[in-house]
Amino acid sequence: MPQHARRSALDLLRRPAGRLFVSALICAGAAASATTFFAIARADEPVAATTAAPSATAPATTSPATATSAPTVSPEASAWLDKIEAKAATIRTLECKLRYDRTQGLLKDTQARFGSLTYRTGPVPGFAVHFDRLYVDGRNERSNRWYIYDGTWLVEKLEDQKQFFKRQIVPPDAPADRRDPLALGEGPFAVPVTMNKQRVLRRYQVELVPPVALPASADPAKGELANSVHIRMVPHDQDSASFQEIDIWYDRESLLPVKVRSLNDSKTESVIQLREPQVNQPIESGVFDTSLPKGEGWRTEVTPWEKGH
């Protein structure tokens, strides 16, 4: 994996903790892969209030937020955000199978990674993603790639290549509410296990997308999901955002995210699917271990936190 590719992604995390809620997932490129995490809002920003749609009979619409007006969201969308936020507040742990599809906009190169996600909400949040299979160019390849965040340190562990990269992405004294690794992000994609409605509306234009009927043979990665609520989020500030839109499908009964689609400014599409979720179950000890690997032959790199980066 090229050194500059890994650093360009991980360096996005080296920001003052007072500005970031850390969120997560994996960005896997054709020639290289890197872990990218993004933030939903500055911790010190004021939050705008929400307003209802102009009338009960008019189509649900949203309008960009400005410095002098609050964002507009339809009553139905607002109600779903309330439900999702309430559900998210009850989640302590989440384990699920994971599929990540990525299609580069210009090259139309597509690859899919398969694995698992383990997540804890706190008091110090953390996650572990393990990819054990890669599908590219019509063939399956084995993989043994880990991305682990323990609340302070982020690790990229490539067991097949015996490479281990560890970077301190928040200072050790950062409060717990500044360390959430899976909040909605400003980057190309996110896994929204956590939800803060007011911050979402502060950052995004939010709308419900009507379901589209598809044949049973349709690929779930490319279409609607049965029994789901489809929410689309478009950044108010398109100039500074690194993506154009995020689509999230939530299961109507469990209120858990089941699919996330994002489109970035280079037309690269990412689709993340979460399957067979297990909520609030005990997590095996050692899952979030970011200590250096034992044994010979490992290439390791450890980068401590640097103030101002």
DSSP string, 141-195: EEEEEEEEE-SSEEEEEETTTTEEEEEE-S-TT--GGG--TTS--SSS----SS-
Q: What is the pLDDT of residue 19?
A: 24
Which is nearest to 169 in space by CA: 203, 118, 125, 199? 125
**Band of the pLDDT at 43, cuts 50, 70, 90?**
very low
**Band of the pLDDT at 226, cuts 50, 70, 90?**
confident
Among the residue ranges 84-93, 188-197, 213-222, the one predicted with the least confidence is 213-222
Query: What is the tens place of the pLDDT at every residue in 152-166?
Result: 898 999 999 999 999
Whether the pLDDT of residue 1 is over 50: the answer is no
Whether the pLDDT of residue 288 is over 90: the answer is yes
Q: What is the pLDDT of residue 3?
A: 46
Q: What is the pLDDT of residue 185?
A: 43
Residues 10-29, mean pLDDT to the nearest whole number: 32
**Band of the pLDDT at 17, cuts 50, 70, 90?**
very low
CA distance 125 to 127: 7
The whole-chain average pLDDT of the chain stands at 74
Q: What is the pLDDT of residue 58?
A: 42
Q: What is the pLDDT of residue 14?
A: 37
Q: What is the pLDDT of residue 77?
A: 95
Whether the pLDDT of residue 207 is over 60: the answer is yes
Q: Give counts: helices (H), strands (E), the chain.
A: 3, 14
CA distance 122 to 273: 23
Portion of the chain with pLDDT greater than 70, in percent: 67
Residues 94-117, mean pLDDT to the nearest whole number: 89
Among the residue ranges 154-158, 238-242, 243-247, 280-284, the one predicted with the least confidence is 238-242
Residue of 117 and 50 predicted with greater confidence: 117
Whether the pLDDT of residue 291 is over 50: the answer is yes
Whether the pLDDT of residue 35 is over 60: the answer is no
Tokens 């890669």 correspond to 134
Whether the pLDDT of residue 23 is over 90: the answer is no
Residues 16-29, mean pLDDT to the nearest whole number: 30
CA distance 22 to 38: 6
Q: What is the pLDDT of residue 216?
A: 67
**What structural domains does the chain harbor?**
3-42+50-282 (2.50.20.10)
Name 97's bridge partners.
116, 275
pTM of the full predicted structure? 0.72
Q: What are phi and psi of 198, to 5 degrees?
A: -65, -40
- Specify whether the CB–CB gap between 200 and 214 falls below 8 A: no
Tokens 């955002």 correspond to 241
Name 206's bridge partners.
233
Query: What is the tens place of the pLDDT at every residue in 53-102?
Result: 334 344 444 444 444 455 689 999 999 999 999 999 999 999 999 999 99
Query: What is the tens place of the pLDDT at every residue in 161-180?
Result: 999 999 988 777 777 666 65
